[in-house]
Structure 1
């Protein structure tokens, strides 16, 4: 009998040790899995599946959770656009990155339209009373694809590191609709009020409602029922031990652009959904009205056999997934000749983005929260290998006039050509003399694209916001030795370069870690940028945000006048 009692106690103790973590969502219990010192809750649906008639519509929230469920596996990946490498150089670049950072075997889940799920990773000792700051990760992917499962290792690394430095955080990541599923754009889309769906997936929808009083009209934003990822975090993160008053947006590339656009949403009215933003290689991009997407919408309608229908959006909703996906794949992708002039991307829809993003910045319609924003030095190299057929000055001029600035005059473009000369020593990878000049125009195009989409928008965003909120800037010049690519787009992420700063920022709304070189705020007087270098003896320095001053100013002036 004593033996049986001892055995029973031993079994109970084992069960206790192996008990899965759980949290309460409304009337349901969600069960996750324990991974060492971490708890993971994976694949939690935060909106109704956007299928059938909900395709090409704003996300509809799950009104309540009434049935308990397991959250032990990642959800489906949202349907992506195939970014087929159009040249051997692009394939080579991918192999270089895979060799250096070992990301060839990253985990994947099947693609599906039913993909609106999120994940929560927390320290296993967190309780509903822990009130830990929350990092909401928004992945990149050129608005063409991406998934949260690809950042499983990041979530583990960041939360474990936060515990090591005594600044524990909770990590949340969400899937969102990409390519045409998330960023379909046209006049029809704008009139239907279903633009920027992929941005709505990450936030909640504010319904504008106006009324007139005896004095003057008033515009009020009411919270609509449709809550998406950030609304879900605000409502439920306390059940996992998170602080709903300390939610930090963190993104890279399209994820950082998305974070910046959340700061502009509804003319800067964030609605207490988030309280800081940490943006790597992404700022309000120089895009224009939703009608600029009309050519790609019309092509999609034709290729999906919806031409001639009275309501083409309804036709696209009812067509088969295979037919629609095939039609989307026929639009230009990230590795096509036009590269960063994307077919499917956020545009001004009149509601979420009431105007062109850069005009909203200039009009001071920005959420006034602490932010960090920075770039890698050679942002354009990765995206410029698909245009290596551009080999002389005339072809470069055609490339700019056809894709980037078709409405600009020759007189306006002439200073731009001078500011970005064909001399490879002036191109990107910067400060590498004539190295990596794989064609006569490659380094020139890389310099132009990197500045047009990343450096110039970042600098404009920060300089327009300086003095109005706490701001820190950075520049990574690490990995200059990588052939052809230099300090390429995303290299700071591969190096986990910013993890400690993000963790401290989440806790203190200040990226300084308390050791090493002090990272000063970006101010009118200093415009200081925290620069990460390759030199082992001194790998950080404070520099002025004045590099390529004239070329970037020319680009900014043109993008304000001629958005893409």
Structure 2
């Protein structure tokens, strides 16, 4: 047989494979690639026009039409984070791109697959979970889902607010980017084999905060963009109104030299990126003593975000779909400075994040969390580091998740809650423990995340990966974590009419539990003062 006879069938196969991976989105055609494990991927698909020049600080716009076929084989740049200069490598202002992962299969409109849309975290000031690979989830689902990941604008690029922005631009653009993606999914995901009528949104930290904001967007208006939601470490941060956010706009105008301009917003839009990014820094919130962890974020604008999150849910102004909420044992340890040595240190840190807090609130928090008998010794840390971490972790993450599960149950909607408690020996010894969003390594598979998983997820804790993937992919496929759960794992019961029922997840110890009474007491207080703290 001649070499030509060998090469022609091979080249024909490659050509056919490439043709099958060409997707026509009307505004552009994208060629993806099939990888050896039976998954096809399209990386770096543009879902909105570049948010640059006159579109800086504007709502996302449709992409321009491109005639040439685009090769979707490389992730798009991440959006620019706050507090980093020069502009970090791999980031850009032109960052509104998404990735799609799907099983390699004949596309049959009668057999479209459930879709999972992932919203990454980063405190609304960075894209901290970018470029996750959906292969692990797809394989865990028996090749039964399609996965979408994406970037959205953060920091001032996504969340600068103030009167000038409201009048001549748009506020909450990072959230509007997310909605733009969900509308893109409704229009285009069937071309990748996904079912637009079966979309589950998921996310962690700020991504999970985004889920609560999307569930309550426009006061709970349901446009059918998604049909279930899984929020991991949902974050209830301090949230300002447009008027309260004016200080950040004014300060940025002054720092960039735009104060003398007749049109300060036009000046900000005309700035070269380096000049703007040099001044993209955290500064103290009004009434705080020091800069917060995350300065920019969603604001109450009266429309997309009509009120504080707690108010919207307690007023029954939210979308009713099956939901998962949950948290890690030690949510606060990666946020509180390790040198917190006194009650005063702890109080200042908490006030920096929640500057509306009053001395009476702080006194109660001190009683609940910061007593002398609650101090702990860990290497290279102050005595009040762990107690302050517990206070912050429950205030911002754990107690809001408990309240969300209770609120959905009260509304008669299926709600599942989890307590992730998978322990890594080195992390336990250091005091970091089961830290904020560590469960993403088990949900996606430690080899498919972009961060650095704890080493034990490849060894002693490897067995937790199929457990988590079983529950999550079952939820994606059935809006219920149980029908397709990993064999031998316990049934994950709902929060229940009596409440506080959640699944305790630990390697070889996974079981149902009831939230302890002392945590319930603490959470009842923190939820009660939530709107006073502007959550």
| Residue of structure 1 equivalent to 2:522 | 551
Structure 1 residue 55, shift from structure 2 partner? 0.2
Q: Note the residue ranges of structure 1 that are not aligned, 5 or more in a row.
A: 85-107, 204-227, 428-432
1:374 and 2:326 are equivalent in the alignment: yes
| Residue of structure 2 equivalent to 1:281 | 233
TM-score (norm 1): 0.81
| Residue of structure 2 equivalent to 1:138 | 119
Q: Is the 8 A contact 1:201 1:229 kept in 2?
A: yes
| Residue of structure 2 equivalent to 1:116 | 96
- Change beyond 3 A, Cα 1:236–1:297: same
Alpha-carbon distance between aligned partners in 2 of 1:79 and 1:398, rounded to the nearest angstrom: 29
| Residue of structure 1 equivalent to 2:139 | 160
| Residue of structure 2 equivalent to 1:105 | none
Q: Is the 8 A contact 1:121 1:170 kept in 2?
A: yes
Q: Is the 8 A contact 1:332 1:338 kept in 2?
A: yes
| Residue of structure 1 equivalent to 2:342 | 392
Q: Is the 8 A contact 1:416 1:554 kept in 2?
A: no
Q: Is the 8 A contact 2:58 2:173 kept in 1?
A: yes
Moved more, 312-321 or 236-245: 312-321
| Residue of structure 2 equivalent to 1:218 | none
| Residue of structure 1 equivalent to 2:386 | 443
Structure 1 residue aligned with 2:402, among 436, 441, 459?
459
Moved more, 522-531 or 398-407: 398-407
Alpha-carbon distance between aligned partners in 2 of 1:7 and 1:551, rounded to the nearest angstrom: 71
Q: Is the 8 A contact 1:528 1:545 kept in 2?
A: no
Alpha-carbon distance between aligned partners in 1 of 2:361 and 2:118, rounded to the nearest angstrom: 39
Alpha-carbon distance between aligned partners in 2 of 1:68 and 1:402, rounded to the nearest angstrom: 49
Partner SS, residue 151 of structure 1: coil
- Which of structure 1's runs of 4+ aligned residues deviate more than 6 A? none
Alpha-carbon distance between aligned partners in 1 of 2:190 and 2:48, rounded to the nearest angstrom: 19
| Residue of structure 2 equivalent to 1:35 | 35
Moved more, 480-489 or 392-401: 392-401
Alpha-carbon distance between aligned partners in 2 of 1:248 and 1:83, rounded to the nearest angstrom: 33
Structure 1 residue 69, shift from structure 2 partner? 2.1
Moved more, 2-11 or 523-532: 2-11
Alpha-carbon distance between aligned partners in 2 of 1:63 and 1:359, rounded to the nearest angstrom: 39
Alpha-carbon distance between aligned partners in 1 of 2:141 and 2:207, rounded to the nearest angstrom: 22
Structure 1 residue 541, shift from structure 2 partner? 3.3
Aligned residues: 498
Partner SS, residue 503 of structure 2: strand
1:473 and 2:408 are equivalent in the alignment: no
- Change beyond 3 A, Cα 1:83–1:359: farther
Q: Is the 8 A contact 1:281 1:489 kept in 2?
A: yes
| Residue of structure 1 equivalent to 2:177 | 201
| Residue of structure 2 equivalent to 1:209 | none
Structure 1 residue 555, shift from structure 2 partner? 2.0
Structure 1 residue 394, shift from structure 2 partner? 3.4
| Residue of structure 2 equivalent to 1:50 | 51
| Residue of structure 2 equivalent to 1:225 | none
Q: Is the 8 A contact 1:340 1:449 kept in 2?
A: no
Q: Is the 8 A contact 1:159 1:171 kept in 2?
A: yes
Structure 1 residue 303, shift from structure 2 partner? 1.2
Alpha-carbon distance between aligned partners in 2 of 1:161 and 1:374, rounded to the nearest angstrom: 21
Structure 1 residue 109, shift from structure 2 partner? 6.5
| Residue of structure 2 equivalent to 1:169 | 145
| Residue of structure 2 equivalent to 1:267 | 219
Alignment of 1:222-301 (within 5 A): 228-301=180-253
Structure 1 residue 304, shift from structure 2 partner? 1.1
| Residue of structure 1 equivalent to 2:481 | 511
Partner SS, residue 291 of structure 1: coil
Q: Note the residue ranges of structure 2 that are not aligned, 5 or more in a row.
A: 444-464
Partner SS, residue 191 of structure 2: helix
| Residue of structure 1 equivalent to 2:495 | 522
| Residue of structure 1 equivalent to 2:62 | 61
Moved more, 488-497 or 242-251: 488-497
Alpha-carbon distance between aligned partners in 2 of 1:505 and 1:236, rounded to the nearest angstrom: 23
Moved more, 75-84 or 128-137: 75-84
- Change beyond 3 A, Cα 1:436–1:365: farther
Q: Is the 8 A contact 1:262 1:270 kept in 2?
A: no
Alpha-carbon distance between aligned partners in 2 of 1:239 and 1:148, rounded to the nearest angstrom: 26
Alpha-carbon distance between aligned partners in 1 of 2:357 and 2:193, rounded to the nearest angstrom: 53
- Change beyond 3 A, Cα 1:8–1:173: closer
| Residue of structure 2 equivalent to 1:95 | none
1:413 and 2:362 are equivalent in the alignment: yes
Structure 2 residue aligned with 1:531, among 504, 525, 528?
504
Structure 1 residue 195, shift from structure 2 partner? 1.3
Structure 1 residue 11, shift from structure 2 partner? 4.2
- Change beyond 3 A, Cα 1:27–1:398: closer
CA RMSD, Structure 1 to Structure 2 (Å): 2.8
Moved more, 457-466 or 375-384: 457-466
- Change beyond 3 A, Cα 1:314–1:422: farther
Q: Is the 8 A contact 2:201 2:228 kept in 1?
A: yes
TM-score (norm 2): 0.85
Alpha-carbon distance between aligned partners in 2 of 1:192 and 1:461, rounded to the nearest angstrom: 35
